[in-house]
Structure 1
């Protein structure tokens, strides 16, 4: 029964993220689209900082069914606001044409979706076992664990602020820089392994959270922008691939931990991100005038 309910939650989550960014970008003026996308994605680190610790505290201090009840109430409130506040026709503010996508735009959109898959796989592969990894470190305590997870959540919010500031005019460079930083962070965690200090780990975790936050926002926004009138379909497909990649990354990390070791998840993530870097660079170099990107 729990598995059934969990599956229904997952299906709802997938549907929501498949349409929310594209919908939000279509109800605002063109000059606000980058900021809108960043605001939407800021909900993930915000939930990490506030929602998860709060509900964990409630569940541990009272009962877990109380925490689930509160979630249900919040969802009901969100549903009411959706019906009251959101416009019925979100396409009216964006002129759309029936012109087919150019061959280059189709190609770039599929390559970007591939990059999304690699980023999500790497992220899930590393983050699935982040708590067991922290518990294996010399400085572990429940207080340090909570503090580190809060740092990760706050870094995601900072990543969204950076995205708002630079994505409108620097989406390619922003994606490239933080894809490299993400890979270096994973490689550093592998090299330092369980000998890492608290402050070094906190700094790397900060870079990790900033990079992941920026990359998920920029790539999804990039797909929407270059696919024009097909953005709803491609955004939904990109979200679907992201969710499949999360499952793949979690499965892959379980195999790595069981057969190789806990820190192997970081070198695996770094390797996946290296492939994504090469693919992104290939896109940018091949499209010399960058008009399609």
Structure 2
């Protein structure tokens, strides 16, 4: 085998590694959001209220928010390949426990383990993926891995609903565990050793947060995340009750959202590699406008479906813009930035869902969507507070 063939083989192996990390993040996030579509059958299965069953969604988010920075510090000099594999195995374990749980308490234990995996894998995945490829290809590696995260975020709910209707709510947890085992085995075969480059301690974690550009990115993404989840938590009632869609119409809308979300990650990559500040502002504005447009489109269901698809595209683009923003802020401390971003995103998910729940109960879905759009607009303004030369210079 000549040098050219060896180079091509090494390049293919590197991108396969990136794909395997993306696959792990997809399974991770699918597992996290899956109960949104399964609350009723889970509640019936354990003989509990839907409100109690909702703990299966909030529990891993809270654990992830707390553990993301802690795991980044505790990781120390541990080989990043080992960390990725162990966290993928944690995803498998959590789904196996959920599948076999005879009581809701045992089920929640599985979800808490998932929270640890969410906090860790989200924090390390993009940083590790960028190390597998040449520096010039870092943005593409980021977009592929974030595509896995975005795909999990938007696919978990519709896939879970279909699986529950066909074969019961436990089936999907079994499928994810089986797929996770395949991914973990391939990670063991493909991923190279990845010694620690920079050991992240509490000082470096705080140091990243003190970087003006990083701090602006964290605050901006938190606002957009809260605004998004104020509305997204109630996307199914919006489609069913406000647009009066039947089962097939809801499936079409959610599928369109999912596909557009995956495509949006690559749109975000192209925008961010040209001008990361402009990309962050544009995608944040786009998410907010989609929420407002969803209110305006209530009398025309097909228009409402179109807005939901555009919403998926916009929010699919936003996370990759945030990741590239964080990397640009301080490349050497990117693991710290990822950990802090995971914490802020999980908090945004919990806060957004809580605010949305109060608004839906007191004012209705339409006002809820308008408030979500307004919060996103605040997030879009924040990146404008930092000078362009500080971002792109």
Into which bin does the TM-score normalised by the smaller protein fall?
0.7 to 0.9
How far residue 190 of structure 1 moved from its aligned partner, in angstroms, is 3.1
How far residue 102 of structure 1 moved from its aligned partner, in angstroms, is 9.5
Query: Residues of 2 paired with 1:43 and 1:62: CA distance?
Result: 25
Label 1:46 to 1:276 Cα distance change in 2 as closer, same or farther (>3 A).
closer
Q: Which residue of 2 aligns with 1:166?
A: 271
Indicate which of 346, 358, 364 corresponds to 1:255: 358
Label 1:48 to 1:12 Cα distance change in 2 as closer, same or farther (>3 A).
closer
1:273 maps to 2:376: yes
Label 1:107 to 1:147 Cα distance change in 2 as closer, same or farther (>3 A).
same
Q: Describe the SS at the equivalent of 1:136.
A: helix
Query: Residues of 1 paired with 2:170 and 2:209: CA distance?
Result: 51
Answer whether contact 2:208 2:337 (CA < 8 A) is retained.
Answer: no
Q: Which residue of 2 aligns with 1:204?
A: 307
Indicate which of 185, 208, 217 corresponds to 1:112: 217
Q: Describe the SS at the equivalent of 1:89.
A: coil
Indicate which of 314, 331, 337 corresponds to 1:228: 331
How far residue 164 of structure 1 moved from its aligned partner, in angstroms, is 3.6
Matches within 5 A, 1:1-293: 1=105, 2-47=107-152, 53-89=158-194, 106-192=211-297, 195-283=298-386, 287-290=387-390
Answer whether contact 1:155 1:210 (CA < 8 A) is retained.
Answer: yes
Task: Note the residue ranges of structure 2 that are not aligned, 5 or more in a row.
Answer: 1-104, 199-203
Label 1:35 to 1:288 Cα distance change in 2 as closer, same or farther (>3 A).
closer
Query: Residues of 2 paired with 1:90 and 1:210: CA distance?
Result: 36
Answer whether contact 2:123 2:342 (CA < 8 A) is retained.
Answer: yes
Q: State the aligned residue count.
A: 282
Of residues 222-231 and 81-90 in structure 1, the stretch that sits farther from structure 2 once superposed is 81-90
CA RMSD of the aligned region, Å? 2.6
Q: Which residue of 2 aligns with 1:97?
A: none
Answer whether contact 1:105 1:227 (CA < 8 A) is retained.
Answer: no
TM-score by length of 2: 0.66
Query: Residues of 2 paired with 1:90 and 1:292: CA distance?
Result: 30
Q: Describe the SS at the equivalent of 2:192.
A: coil
How far residue 249 of structure 1 moved from its aligned partner, in angstroms, is 0.5
Answer whether contact 2:208 2:336 (CA < 8 A) is retained.
Answer: no
Q: Describe the SS at the equivalent of 2:330.
A: helix
Greater relative CO (CA pairs within 8 A, separation 6+):
1
Answer whether contact 1:105 1:226 (CA < 8 A) is retained.
Answer: no
Query: Residues of 1 paired with 2:178 and 2:264: CA distance?
Result: 29
Of residues 28-37 and 131-140 in structure 1, the stretch that sits farther from structure 2 once superposed is 131-140
Label 1:288 to 1:276 Cα distance change in 2 as closer, same or farther (>3 A).
same
- Write the deviation string for residues 19-60 of structure 1: whole angstroms up to 9, x where unpaired: 111111122111111111110111134346766544543332
Task: Note the residue ranges of structure 1 that are not aligned, 5 or more in a row.
Answer: 95-99
Query: Residues of 2 paired with 1:12 and 1:25: CA distance?
Result: 20
